[in-house]
Structure 1
Amino acid sequence: MDLDAYVAEHAAEWRRLDQLARRRRVTAAEADELVALYQRAATHLSVVRSRSPDPALVARLSRLVLAARNAITGTPAFSWQRVGHFFVAGFPLAVYRAWPWWSAVATTFSLVAFGIMGYVVANPEVAELFMDDATITRMIQSDFVGYYSQFASQNQTLRVWTNNAVLTAECLAGGVLILPVLVVLFTNALNVGLTGGVMIAYGRGDVFFGMIMPHGLLELTAVFVGAGVGLRVGWAWIAPGPLRTRGRALVEAAREGMLVALGLVVVLLVSGVLEGFLTPSSLPMPVKDVIGALVWLAFLAYVVILGRAAHLEGESTDLPEELTEAPVPTA
């Protein structure tokens, strides 16, 4: 195909389509013309891609076709109703459906962390393989407690929120390959077990659990959910089932994974607020622990009650039809 001749032949149509797509209002006749030119431009794009895929021309026509389609169909307006539906049905349903995965992650993580913790308590010298005596002394005397008050509350909230969001994102994204998630989880279980073991071995177990519980229950649960959903996405392409292709299974699981990722941003913000404001506060430790436990139980109840209700009502975690990409019509 003579690309220059093809461009010269249809350039006037493309310019006219660009003009119509940019207008805020069009007449009925112009609307009909816009649809017709859009269909023809979509066909032109298909021809160029198949016969002479010039990158610059493909990019130009792709932008033109996309702009024309937006002008014809319009862009979805922001809706608080859709936001409400996400938090009432979409997010809890996605987490509820994945509960076997993140429950298994939570159980395995806890067994490993407490196993390491018990081993370090029984063999305190093991800690010296990972940290020197000075570090252990500072941790017991000041560093562990001081960590939660070294920054202003709002700064600590933002800091742990971003750190935990990155950790959870790693678990979600790495789930496709399975092994990265397992490495991240084991590394964190080792850190929790080693730190807890040292604190307990030196008579500071009450401080360890008292400082972790206000925020840690919700924080770790969010990480477990992210890891469980990530592993579920990875397993979707390993074992898609008899009625789905690997690609379809992966796409469906990944869509639910994105819903979970968006919802966990809010959950991790709540745990960040707890760690920034509640954990270092002057409230009695039992009171802080009770508040943290109540927030954690509220999240679990939210997932179970609303997620189960959405499941029984046949709610879907797919995107609404108006937000999915429509097929490009051709002439």
Structure 2
Amino acid sequence: MDVQRWIARREIQWQELEALLKRLETKGLKSLKADEIALLASLYRSVSADLARAKTNQLGETIIQQLQTLTSRSYSQIYQGSRKQEWRAVLSFYLWGFPSVVYESRVYIAIATMLFMVGALIAWWFSWRDPSFLALVVPERLISLVRDRGELWMGSILGSEPLASSGIAINNMTVCFRTVAGGITGGLLTAYFLFFNGILLGAIGALVQQNGLAYPFWAFVFPHGALELPAIFLAGAAGLLIAKALLFPAPYRRIDAFKIYGNQAAQLMFGVVPLLLIAGAIEGFISPNPAIPAPFKYLGGTLLLCGLLAYFRNRPSSL
């Protein structure tokens, strides 16, 4: 291998890459045109190959060091820029994209909310009409604790807040993802999960009301429920979107409907996960905390819900 001849032939590209890197490092990505960005990536690959050849043929420490520096700088600029773009895309989604998807899915969210609320109202009504109904829905341990001892069960979280918080978040995510997956059954399981969770909350609400514990119970529910319940409704809407793609794909082909509505459902779930993480932290650390007065919990839950609704309105005006 004629080292000097090889260096002379390749040095032009090294200098070209050096010039592009200097512009990129001083003026940023906007200083490069589209064809220059493509050239940068091409030169990076070429110089990486040159570095490998230089090491293989032991062309000298100076050349190897020069090429190593060029490839390191190129890698940093290309992939750091890519990561910045990804983070910008994530930020843009949570600022504008998620509220827009929520708005586009408003009919399905309304249906999911209605299924939950109908279940809650039915359970509330039956619990007052027939006390034996509670035993069909609520665990006997909770019924005994509330009726016989006049206590709520949230105190068990105290002392293990970090573990409880993570466990609550994981459990809520499991429920939500099952609700979404239920869409593949034509929405039957999605509807069941929503309706059953509504029944459970309605029955427990009636139980604590009958035993004079409604005020502290709802003080516990309000702070995290302001985020957790909307997250469940959004997950239900995602499941219903999948059911729509399966049962009513028109005017699209079914495979195209799955792509369109599946993507919409996935975007809803991207927004649901942070809501559940925050709700889990609140339920583990704030909701059961006896040092926080109940009025503050009610106020905090109300402010969270109002803030969430205001956030959902943060979408492009064209929608």
Same fold (TM over 0.5): yes
> Could you tell me how far 1:131 is from its partner in structure 2?
5.8
Secondary structure of 1:280 counterpart: coil
Give, in whole Å, the separation in 2 of the partners of 1:28 and 1:115: 68
Q: In the alignment, what sits opposite 1:258?
A: 266
Q: In the alignment, what sits opposite 1:105?
A: 112
User: Which of 116, 122, 130 in structure 2 is aligned with 1:115?
Assistant: 122
Q: In the alignment, what sits opposite 1:64?
A: none
Whether 1:78 and 2:44 are equivalent positions in the alignment is: no
Q: In the alignment, what sits opposite 1:219?
A: 228
TM-score calculated relative to the size of structure 1: 0.66
- Unaligned stretches of 5+ residues in structure 2: 1-42, 51-77
Give, in whole Å, the separation in 2 of the partners of 1:271 and 1:102: 19
Give, in whole Å, the separation in 1 of the partners of 2:305 and 2:286: 14
Whether 1:312 and 2:318 are equivalent positions in the alignment is: yes
Q: Which letter maps to 1:228?
A: A
> CA 1:126 to 1:286, structure 2 compared with 1: closer, same or farther past 3 Å?
same
Note the alpha carbon deviations across 1:253-281, whole angstroms, 9 max, x for none. 11121122122111111111221122122
Give, in whole Å, the separation in 2 of the partners of 1:302 and 1:95: 10
Whether 1:208 and 2:217 are equivalent positions in the alignment is: yes
User: Which of 292, 296, 301 in structure 1 is aligned with 2:310?
Assistant: 301
Q: In the alignment, what sits opposite 2:143?
A: 136
> CA 1:213 to 1:85, structure 2 compared with 1: closer, same or farther past 3 Å?
same
Give, in whole Å, the separation in 2 of the partners of 1:130 and 1:241: 39
| Identity across matched positions, percent | 25
Is 1:274–1:292's contact at 8 Å kept on the other side of the alignment?
A: no
Q: In the alignment, what sits opposite 2:74?
A: none
> CA 1:255 to 1:124, structure 2 compared with 1: closer, same or farther past 3 Å?
same
- Give the superposed CA RMSD: 2.8
Give, in whole Å, the separation in 2 of the partners of 1:133 and 1:153: 25
Matched length: 244
Q: Which letter maps to 1:126?
A: F
Q: Which letter maps to 1:108?
A: L
Q: In the alignment, what sits opposite 1:33?
A: none
Note the alpha carbon deviations across 1:159-194, whole angstroms, 9 max, x for none. 111111111111122213211112212221222122
* Aligned ranges 1:216-295 → 2 under 5 Å: 216-242=225-251, 244-281=252-289, 282-295=291-304
> CA 1:265 to 1:256, structure 2 compared with 1: closer, same or farther past 3 Å?
same
> CA 1:172 to 1:131, structure 2 compared with 1: closer, same or farther past 3 Å?
closer
> Could you tell me how far 1:96 is from its partner in structure 2?
1.5
Give, in whole Å, the separation in 1 of the partners of 2:144 and 2:136: 15
Is 1:234–1:250's contact at 8 Å kept on the other side of the alignment?
A: no
Q: In the alignment, what sits opposite 1:161?
A: 169
Is 1:119–1:197's contact at 8 Å kept on the other side of the alignment?
A: no
TM-score calculated relative to the size of structure 2: 0.69
Secondary structure of 1:235 counterpart: helix
Is 2:138–2:200's contact at 8 Å kept on the other side of the alignment?
A: no
Note the alpha carbon deviations across 1:87-134, whole angstroms, 9 max, x for none. 112222112211111122112311221221132123223223456866
Q: Which letter maps to 2:46?
A: V
User: Which of 186, 190, 207 in structure 1 is aligned with 2:199?
Assistant: 190
> CA 1:119 to 1:84, structure 2 compared with 1: closer, same or farther past 3 Å?
same
- Unaligned stretches of 5+ residues in structure 1: 1-22, 31-73, 314-331
